[in-house]
Chains A and B, each alone.
Chain A
Amino acid sequence: MKNRLKVLRAERDWTQAQLADALDVSRQTINAIETGKFDPSLPLAFRASRLFGLRIEEIFHDPALENDNHSVATSRLGRG
């Protein structure tokens, strides 16, 4: 799963430690999520969503799902 956590954090000029405190997790967890080594649980994703004031899908997105949507759109275009 990909995410925009690092970008959103940088836009707000927050450190990993500050974001970790705000989300009540360790700095290591924030780093692992940002680098794509670890996918957060739904409750943690909701906390991030509340903190940034964005919908979950605006922060986290599934590349496989995007590929599927792209394939469906392409096949529809092909048929049309």
Chain B
Amino acid sequence: MDELKPIEHVYQSRVRTSVIRLFRWCGAWAATTALMAFGPRFLWSRGSGFTLLAVGLDVVVGIGVILANKHYLDELDELQRKVQLNAMAITLGVAVIAGVPFSVMAAYHIIPFHADIMYLLIVMSLTLAVSNLYGTWRYR
């Protein structure tokens, strides 16, 4: 039997590190988004410079999320990257295909509520999660 070097799990630990980093950036982004959304109502008066500051902070942390996500994708192996690419392609398609009619229906008052961007974000998050699970199951 040819001996392999002891298992170092280099790939797994590298991916785990990038996932933790991505989660931290996402947590920070959620916190700055909450600050931006609720700060003007509960923490300071509307229209003050603090709101602009909160928006700027949210954008900067958002860029951090994008870079952390890119770093995470770079760390994945080719199969995992393919699963992610498929999931992102499905998510983008669903966002466009569902988003445009939803917006049109809201404009013509066919649906009884405002077409808030949050609905689209929820649909995109769920689609990405389900597509990822399907991809993982398909190549398990």
Contact = CB atoms under 8 A, between A and B. Distances in A.
A21 B79 contact: no
A18 to B, nearest CB: 5
B118 interface: no
A37 B77 CA distance: 15
Contacts of A20: 11
Contact of A29 (B1, B5, B7, B78): B78
Interface in A9-28: 12-14, 17-22, 24-26, 28
A25 B20 CA distance: 19
Interface string B1-26: 11011011111100100000000000
B138 A22 contact: no
A67 to B, nearest CB: 26
Nearest to A24: B11
B136 interface: yes
B139 A18 contact: no
A21 B1 contact: no
Interface stretch (A38-46, A56-64, A69-77): A38-46
Contact of B79 (A14, A18, A38): A38
A31 B2 CA distance: 20
B140 A31 contact: yes
Q: Which of B5, B11, B15 has the most CB of A within 10 A?
A: B11
Nearest to B14: A24
Nearest to A21: B7
A7 interface: no
B77 A21 contact: no
A32 interface: yes
B33 interface: no
Interface of B: 1-2, 4-5, 7-12, 15, 77-80, 82, 136, 138-140
